[in-house]
Structure 1
Amino acid sequence: MQGKLYVIGTPIGNIEDITLRALRIIKEVDLILSEDTRRTLKLLNYYSISKPIDSFNEHSSSKKKERILEKLKKGEKIAYISDAGMPVIADPGTDLIRLCYENNIEVDVIPGPSAVLTALTASGFYGNRFTFLGFMPRDKKRRRLLRKLIKDEQLTNIFIFFENPERLLKTLKDILEIIGDIEIFIAREMTKKFQEYFKGIVSEAIEHFKTGVKGELTIIMKFEKKI
């Protein structure tokens, strides 16, 4: 009997933002795979759950993938959990899911919070289409991407991306120089104690965050194309 891979959404910040179904499945599986076992342990300890945990990330070897596959083929149920939010969104879970499909292993998704959709909802930006850019690249690659965004007619006018706090000001200054003083929404530490929402134009954001910023950032920018 084949096993099953459960892809489980977990809280993006507030540890109470997890579904009852997710907790039930986590208790039932034979093994939990996570990108960062330390963060997963905090979640399990909070809900008094004791389960075997192993790491699975972008550096996982082909041998580890084969071991996971063998467990599934023997009938084990395995849960994959990302650092936060929905797996596969800017994390290595895709490889694991593809491996299951290639070997006729059943995959089930237990949905949960998403930083992308949470930020989009909070922004109030109207539009039924958006482009998710993942993590914003650095320096020259960032500027090259921003130039591409304003020219590509196929892309939307709402863009969402993740950014490192140490690079926020550089990114904002590049946006101001290349795209202009457009509307921007910055969500910091969403659902956590020090959650902050900033909405305004880029120049205002530069002024607001000029003394530095800490925490996880999800950024949304909206602008009309310069075609």
Structure 2
Amino acid sequence: MLTLLPTPIGNLADITLRALKVLADSDVLMCEDIRVSKKLISLLEKNPLVQDNFPTIFDTKQFISFHSHNEKEFLASVDKSFFEKNVVFMSDAGMPCVSDPGVSLVAYAINNNIPYDVLPGASAGVNAYCFSGIHSDGFLFTGFLPHKQKDRKDHISNIIKGISTLDQDIVIVMYESPHRILKSLEDIASLYPDADLFAIKEMTKVHQKFFHGKTIDVLEQIKKSNISGEWALVMSVEKVLEPSLSLTQVVQMDMPPKIKAKILAKLENKDIKTIYEEICKEGQSK
């Protein structure tokens, strides 16, 4: 049996009774970082309620490292009989599979008919969305922003263009590290200075702090603050629909075949030469 187990994103009191029961019954703990998981267990051991009601959590267990750098190798070499034990996968903080390892484990379990379960628990993205107070019909979670500035700006712009085509009002939920939070906010502010932005750090922890307002104003506030800790951003941008042509409209347009071929190749992600030859054949048959 495989169980994916969420862990608190900061406040240890957010762990569930069900998670404690699964930990108590576990034989093997697969961990994104063994050191982080062992520290969590050592902190739980100091809680009398946990000690009295779930003492087997602290029995000797097998710890296995499982993260983005070794997951393919591990799953290629492991025998499915391994999961006849009570195997638990723990992420460092929050929900497995959400900007954390775990998806490949679930896929492996499905493909090999291994019983599995996923426990519900804290997720920084969902918590930030609820915290923001920004009215919407839902949110699009995009995980961590790209490291490079050009990639980051393109990423944000493409997402905004995409959700602008929807009938619903959708906000964007993003993660960012303390090392890049100011650079990312500067990029967002350069693109959408008047966007409605909510930024929160150290959720559920003692130093939890959040900011809300126009992107440019939030940036200035955070510049004057302590930026340590992991960040979550929730952003709402007014829809800006760009004029566009459909594939059918381009095909029906009267223009030189070479230019039409270039446009269609871009739209259909096909070879220009092939499309050009097709256009010429159609022209000859008329």
Q: Normalised by the size of structure 1, how large is the TM-score?
A: 0.92
Aligned to 1:80, the other structure's residue is in SS state: strand
**1:146 match:** 156
Instruction: Output the CA distance in 2 between the equivalents of 1:44 and 1:120.
Output: 29
Q: Which residue of 188, 193, 196 corresponds with 1:175?
A: 188
Note if contact 1:188-1:197 (Cα within 8 Å) is conserved in structure 2.
Answer: yes
Residue 8 of structure 1 contacts residue 87 of structure 1 at CA under 8 Å; is this kept in 2? yes
In 1, Cα distance between equivalents of 2:140 and 2:192: 16
Once the two structures are superposed, residues 148-172 of structure 1 have per-residue CA deviations (whole angstroms, 9 ceiling, x without a partner) of 1232214853000100112111111
Aligned counterpart, 2:248: none
Bigger drift between 61-70 and 183-192 goes to 61-70
Decide which structure has greater helix share: 2
Asked whether the equivalents of residues 34 and 55 of structure 1 are also in contact (C-alpha less than 8 Å), the reply is yes
Aligned to 2:67: 57
4+ residue stretches of structure 1 with deviation over 4 A? none
CA distance, structure 2, for counterparts of residue 149 and residue 156 of structure 1 = 13
Pairing 1:87–2:100 present: no
C-alpha distance after superposition, 1:168-199 (max 9, x if no partner): 11111111221232111111000011011111
Equivalent residue for 1:164?
A: 177
Match of 2:92, as an amino acid?
A: D
How do 1:179-190 residues align onto structure 2 when only pairs under 5 Å count? 179-190=192-203
- Give 1:68 shift: 6.2
Provide the secondary structure at the position in 2 that maps to 1:209. Answer: helix
Q: CA RMSD in A?
A: 1.6
CA contact (8 A) 1:33 1:80 kept: yes
Contact 1:150-1:179 at 8 Å conserved across structures: no
Query: Kindly tell me: are residues 54 and 149 of structure 1, through their superposed partners in 2, closer, same or farther at Cα, counting changes over 3 Å?
Result: same
What is the CA–CA distance in structure 2 between the aligned matches of 1:174 and 1:61, rounded to whole Å?
A: 33
- Counterpart secondary structure, 1:16: helix
* 1:91 Cα offset (Å): 1.2
Give 3-state SS (helix, strand or coil) of 1:59's partner.
Answer: coil
Bigger shift: residues 55-64 or 164-173:
55-64
Q: For residues 96 and 61 of structure 1, do their structure 2 counterparts lie closer, same or farther at Cα, with a shift above 3 Å needed? A: closer
| Secondary structure, aligned partner of 1:198 | strand
1:38 maps onto 2:19 in alignment: no
TM-superposed CA distance for 1:125, in Å, is 1.2
Amino acid of the structure 2 residue aligned with 1:69 = K
The answer to which structure, 1 or 2, has the higher relative contact order (CA under 8 A, 6+ apart) is 1
Q: Which has more radius of gyration?
A: 2
Check if 1:226 corresponds to 2:245. no
Gaps spanning 5+ residues in structure 2: where? 46-56, 242-286
Q: What amino acid sits opposite 2:234 in the alignment?
A: I
Q: Using a 3 Å threshold, how does the CA distance of structure 1 residues 96 and 210 change in structure 2: closer, same or farther?
A: same
- 5+ residue gaps, structure 1: none
Equivalent residue letter for 2:238 = E
Select which of 104, 108, 126 maps to 1:99: 108
Asked if the contact 2:171–2:237 (Cα under 8 Å) also holds between the matched residues in 1, the reply is: yes
TM-score (norm 2): 0.74
Q: Tell me the equivalent position of 1:192.
A: 205
Query: Residues 17-40 of structure 1: CA distance to partner in whole angstroms, max 9, x if unpaired?
Result: 100010011110110111111111
User: CA shift at 1:220, angstroms?
Assistant: 0.6
Paired-residue identity, %: 36
Do 2:189 and 2:219's aligned partners in 1 also have CA atoms closer than 8 Å? Answer: no
1:70 aligned partner:
81
TM superposition shift of 1:52: 2.2
Given that residues 201 and 231 in structure 2 are in contact (C-alpha distance below 8 angstroms), is that contact kept between their aligned partners in structure 1?
yes
Tell me which of 217, 221, 232 is aligned to 1:204.
Answer: 217
| Residue 133 of structure 1: aligned partner | 142
| Counterpart residue identity of residue 219, structure 1 | L
